[in-house]
A = this chain, B = another copy of it.
């Protein structure tokens, strides 16, 4: 029996449910149990230079608030990511702020004055770069797990640890990253503006997939999302904070290789056997709490396991 009766006992990626000694061993491991047993070689190290580390001002109790973002690998969004590297090198975000928190949607940060000069040499990236116009390797073993079901001409999958979607025939494939929880994107003005990368947001609600192919995604939060998702919601239009004192100051944003005490991070390879077993278990929960497996999961309900390297 579960030790805390009457409480919803559900899957956290890294929190296995405590079972008491008299329980029979479950026949099917839960997703976190599968992740815990993955082999060391199934984990992929994330280069510190591919991390963006944002330190917010401490909270009201003086606790530090660090958010770690993994930047996307090629072939996606590299124009904006190049800009982001330059902005971090220029310490451009230091002294900027979280300016918007819209419930079930996004938390957004940047320059509240909208007047701070940008560093020189930022690229003006084309809308065409919202999509990668070629075929992309993906782990075909997962094809049967997704809702909606993958078809020859339309699919979702993972590429190097990021959720992606695609359409087309083999000689005309188009792929793009998907707006899952925690993904980080680039605020922009009306088309043809695509944003520089100076104004960023992260998804803090149900996946707003209508933004796919309409805004550049550049990464995802791998640690500290709670510092952005649990902020007070803004009361202005679109969730903008109405008063200056509501904004959350950003002390600094740096690339990971510039932070001396940063732990090493790794993600479970989306090409690995353990990831396939984990994804299958997310799509078909058979661990003791569940009665009726769903028979599939949407791409955003299979979060990619990330951990600090032991």
- A residues with a Cβ closer than 8 A to B are 1-2, 4-10, 12, 15, 17-18, 60, 99-106, 108, 110-111, 114, 127, 130, 147-149, 180-182, 185, 187-191, 195-196, 198-199, 201, 205-215, 225-226, 229-233, 237-240, 282-283, 285, 288-294, 297-298, 300-301, 303
Q: Please give, as numbers and ranges, the residues of chain B lying within 8 Å of A5 by CB-CB distance.
A: 114, 189
A294, B209: Cβ atoms closer than 8 Å: yes
The minimal Cβ–Cβ distance linking A229 to chain B, given in whole angstroms, is 6
Q: Please give, as numbers and ranges, the residues of chain B lying within 8 Å of A293 by CB-CB distance.
A: 210
Determine the residue in chain B with the shortest Cβ distance to A211.
B10
Determine the residue in chain B with the shortest Cβ distance to A189.
B5
Alpha-carbon separation in the docked complex, A181 to B301 (Å): 13
B110, A195: Cβ atoms closer than 8 Å: no
Determine the residue in chain B with the shortest Cβ distance to A101.
B230
For A195, A198, A210, the residue with the greatest tally of chain B CB atoms inside 10 Å of its CB is A210
For A106, A130, A190, A285, the residue with the greatest tally of chain B CB atoms inside 10 Å of its CB is A190
Instruction: Give chain A's interface secondary structure class.
Output: loop
Q: Please give, as numbers and ranges, the residues of chain B lying within 8 Å of A292 by CB-CB distance.
A: 130, 212-214
Q: Please give, as numbers and ranges, the residues of chain B lying within 8 Å of A214 by CB-CB distance.
A: 285, 289-292
Given contacts A12-B237, A214-B289, contact A187 B6 (CB under 8 A): yes
Alpha-carbon separation in the docked complex, A111 to B198 (Å): 45
Alpha-carbon separation in the docked complex, A176 to B24 (Å): 31
